[in-house]
Amino acid sequence: MKIIDAHVHAREAGTPEFNETVPIYSANSAAVYMMNFPKPLDLQNLSDAVWFMRNYHTAIMDAAGKAGNPNHYAMLMPVLAENMEPVQLRQFIKMMKGIGGVPLAGFKLFPKGQSTNSGYAPSLEKACTLIDVLEEMKVPLALHMEDPDEPNVSKKEQSAMENILPKLINRGRWPSDINISIEHISKTYGLIMALENNLWCTITPHHLGLCQEDFNIDDPRNAENILSTTEPYFYCKPIIQARGSQRFLHNFWLQGEYDRLMPGTDSAPHSILKKDSESPPAGIFMGGTVWAYERLLRDQNVSALLERYSRNAAQFYGIEMAGLPDAEVPNETWLHNVRNMRHAAKQKIKSRE
């Protein structure tokens, strides 16, 4: 079985979060590592930026090797930033393609202030100039769709799909030379928009298996406040949605018919001290792809569907499935030792079985 997790976070190399999560992620055949670090890549010094990418990839592979997964295929996804210039981005991509051995998955675009370390996100105008470079260079683009100006947290994704997405990728023509993925779609509306526009997408296990009603949230406007204060280990962005959207996404995922749907857990570790603070960061640690989807969906076809959706991810990122190692379910020892979902999440999931 070959499984690709197209969206994971491991944080900075050498941190406890990195050391505990990479051994789990590396049990997958391949994974896309999101690099939303406290500082974005500094493309003013291209050699240093390439050196940073090589060192981060080396750290991942060292940790994967120690965990018994030396053939794990790690792809890196840096984040677009306001201080990047198109000419720098173009040259950086050329250099990354030239060095080999450090797969550049693509670039991620966060809306400003809507996720961990997204304060340096580019303006809409700057983002458009950078996306033009990605299209020219045939480099994939992953989009986090939440509208910073929408006050209702449960409507941020819909507002972004309606008001921001067209300005990014439909400026008089639809990009023909760029693969675009809407990451961690959480609502019925977002999924339908992706389908209508033939876009790629990922759906997380927590958006498939959990809903606001599981946490006694009866007013979606209060979802962020309730989850961040009473259930911080289940506080994420986009926020867990109401049961209607959760069921729609759940049933759609199990049908297995959309050839542009990819597995992506959005597994996002934070330390217990941060999660238990008065202002916890958003992010749910989901562990390994197989474990996370099977545990939350509890369906006998999950493994086969994960492999099918992984073939979609391989096509999106331009890699050969045949050359990837087989995936393994992460060792239970690692799952017991992780910081984030460690006890709270496992008990919550068990209570629903």
Rounded distance between C-alpha atoms, residue 84 and residue 73, angstroms? 27
Q: Which CATH superfamily is domain 4-204+247-271+300-330 in?
A: Metal-dependent hydrolases (3.20.20.140)
pLDDT at 341: 47
pLDDT tens-place string over residues 179-193: 999 999 999 999 999
pLDDT tens-place string over residues 11-65: 999 998 999 899 999 999 999 999 999 999 999 999 999 999 999 999 999 999 9
pLDDT tens-place string over residues 148-167: 899 998 999 999 999 999 88
pLDDT at 244: 95
pLDDT tens-place string over residues 109-154: 988 766 766 678 899 999 999 999 999 999 999 999 999 899 998 9
Task: Tell me which amino acid residue 194 is.
Answer: A
User: What is the number of other CB atoms lying within 10 angstroms of the CB of residue 273?
Assistant: 9
Rounded distance between C-alpha atoms, residue 46 and residue 42, angstroms? 7
Q: Answer positive or negative: Cα dihedral of 178, 315, 207, 228.
A: negative
SS3 73: strand
292 or 156, higher pLDDT? 156
H-run or E-run covering 306: helix 302-317
- The per-residue b/e assignment along 145-171, b for 16 or more CB within 10 angstroms, e otherwise, is bbbeebeebbbbbbbbbbebbeebbee
Query: What's the count of helices (H) and strands (E) in the chain, helices before strands?
Result: 15, 8
Model confidence band, residue 344 (pLDDT cutoffs 50, 70, 90): very low
Mean pLDDT score of the chain:
88
Rounded distance between C-alpha atoms, residue 346 and residue 353, angstroms? 11
**225-239, 261-275, 289-303, 333-347: which range is least confident on average?**
333-347
Mean pLDDT over residues 330-350, rounded?
50
Rg (CA), the chain: 19
Q: Are 198 and 260 in contact (CB under 8 A)?
A: yes
pTM, two decimals, is: 0.92
Rounded distance between C-alpha atoms, residue 177 and residue 189, angstroms? 26
65 half-sphere exposure, CB direction, 13 A CA radius: 6
Mean pLDDT over residues 93-101, rounded?
90
Mean pLDDT over residues 82-86, rounded?
95
